[in-house]
Amino acid sequence: MTTRAGFVALIGEPNAGKSTLTNTLVGAKVSIVTHKVQTTRARIRGVAIEGESQIVLVDTPGLFQPKRRLDRAMVAAAWGGAADADVIVLMIEAHRGVSKGVKQILENLEEIGKGRTVVLAINKIDKVPSEGLLQLTREMNQRYDFAETFMISAEKGHGVDDLKKWLAERMPEGPWLYPEDQIADLPLRMIAAEVTREKLTLRLHQELPYQLTVETEHWEERKDGSARIDQLIYVARDGHKGIILGKKGETIKAVSQSARAELEEFLGRKVHLFLQVKVRPNWLEEKERYSEMGLDFRDGNS
């Protein structure tokens, strides 16, 4: 049997469902999923297997109008992921249709999509009647020459198997890029940081989650098979530290318990998780923080 392996970039607006689709295709949680927009920062790769094909999924940050340095780095990472892929999947939300953001992405695809296979995945199809879906399909295919259009619900799994089979057949022939049991190419330290950041994002509201980052400072494998994980939560202001700690430390305790439970399930062993909050007013301007997130630090407005 001939083996195949290649890269598939999932692009789209924030909250289009890219992280959920990555997790559904892989069959495990490798990408941070929350109800808040712009939660995916780095290009998290999930590895999905279909028959003799290995599909390496590049789950890019949502494409939006960047304002700050972190925003610019995230958008650059998204387009960089698309430019390196064998197949690009543009995800749009059925109920939002051809939004301003989708039009902007289509414009950029004219250049980046040249010579590449680009497919359309219309997500959250359960939110729109079938005639609306057909109309949306027609309009999108008039705007761009997609190789194929898929109607899916990433959350419920509808149509995902068809998309997976189609992608598997279009991967270039060649040896697999990752061991069979590997589901993501992110270091465990970064996955652990993402899990904690997800729990903080879910627990906290408004602007705060975008003003914080989590780093795994220390990882110790213990003789009893458990792991001790020490993490730092960086925030921009003193006031933010108080919000994360919560009254009598209740918030950080709840976040720690929730993150630890998920990490234990993910790793299949006991985890001792220790969280510390540090105020770094300029962390959004520190090159080192971007390296930890797997993003390029961009000078000025580049």
C-alpha closest to that of 19 among 181, 176, 197, 233 = 197
**pLDDT at residue 80 tops 90:** no
Dihedral over alpha carbons 81, 117, 134, 103 (to 10 degrees): 50
Tell me, yes or no, whether 162 and 15 share the same domain.
yes
Q: Could you give the dihedral angle defined by the CA atoms of residues 268, 269, 270 and 273, in that order, rounded to the nearest 10 degrees?
A: -60
Structure tokens that stand for 71 in this block: 């925003």
Does residue 102 share a domain with residue 54? yes
Domain count, the chain: 2
In a domain? residue 84: yes
- Residue span of the structural domain in which 238 resides: 188-292
Say if residue 141 is in the same domain as residue 215: no
Checking if the pLDDT of 39 tops 70, the result is: no
- What DSSP character marks residue 125? G
C-alpha to C-alpha distance for 253 and 231, rounded to whole angstroms: 13
Residues 30 and 68 in one domain: yes
Q: How far is CA 166 from CA 25, 53, 87, 148, 161, in A?
A: 12, 11, 11, 9, 9
Final residue before a domain boundary, out of 169, 199, 224: 169
Is position 182 within any domain?
A: no
Q: Which of 95-104, 281-290, 292-301 has the lowest mean pLDDT?
A: 292-301
Coil vs helix vs strand at 234: strand
pTM above 0.75, yes or no: no
**Same-domain status, 118 and 75:** yes
Structural domain includes residue 272: yes
Q: Where are the beta strands (DSSP E) in 42-123?
A: 44-50, 53-59, 87-93, 117-123
Comparing 8-22, 35-49, 278-292, the range with the smallest average pLDDT is 35-49
Residues 218 and 161 in one domain: no
- CATH number at 287 reads 3.30.300.20
Nearest-5° Cα angle at 232, 294 to 215:
15
Residue partners of 70: CB distance under 8 A and separation at least 6: 41, 210, 284, 290, 295
Which strands sit side by side in the sheet containing 87-93, from one edge to the other? 44-50, 53-59, 4-12, 87-93, 117-123, 149-151
DSSP H or E stretch at residue 41: none
Q: Which of 162, 61, 174 is nearest to 119 (CA)?
A: 162
Q: pLDDT digit string (tens) for 86-142? A: 899 999 999 999 998 889 888 878 877 788 899 999 999 999 998 999 999 999 999
Query: Do 37 and 107 lie in a common domain?
Result: yes
Query: What percentage of the chain reaches a pLDDT higher than 90?
Result: 33
* CATH code (residue 15): 3.40.50.300
Q: Residue 151 domain-assigned? A: yes
pLDDT class of 60 with cuts at 50, 70, 90: low
The residue with greater pLDDT, 202 or 232, is 232
Instruction: Quick: pLDDT tens for 207-241.
Output: 455 578 888 888 888 889 888 999 999 888 888 88
**pLDDT band at 143; cut points 50, 70, 90:** very high
Same domain, 144 and 238: no
How far, CA to CA in Å, does 32 sit from each of 11, 29, 123, 198, 224? 15, 8, 18, 6, 29
Residue 8, strand partner residues: 57, 87
Alpha-carbon distances of 132 from 120, 125, 136, 159, 166, rounded to whole Å = 16, 10, 6, 17, 24
- 106 and 34 belong to one structural domain: yes
Mean pLDDT of 235-252: 87
Q: Closest by alpha carbon to 231, among 286, 194, 185, 280?
A: 194
- Residue predicted with more confidence, 266 or 31: 266
Mean pLDDT of the chain: 80
- Could you tell me the pLDDT band of residue 289, with boundaries at 50, 70 and 90? low
The count of residues in the chain is 302
The answer on 206 and 157 residing in a single domain is no
In a domain, residue 192? The reply is: yes
Residue 260: band (very low, low, confident or very high) from pLDDT cuts 50, 70, 90: very high
Question: Rounded to whole angstroms, how far apart are CA atoms 66 and 90?
Answer: 19
Residues 108 and 250 in one domain: no
pLDDT at residue 63 greater than cutoff 60: no
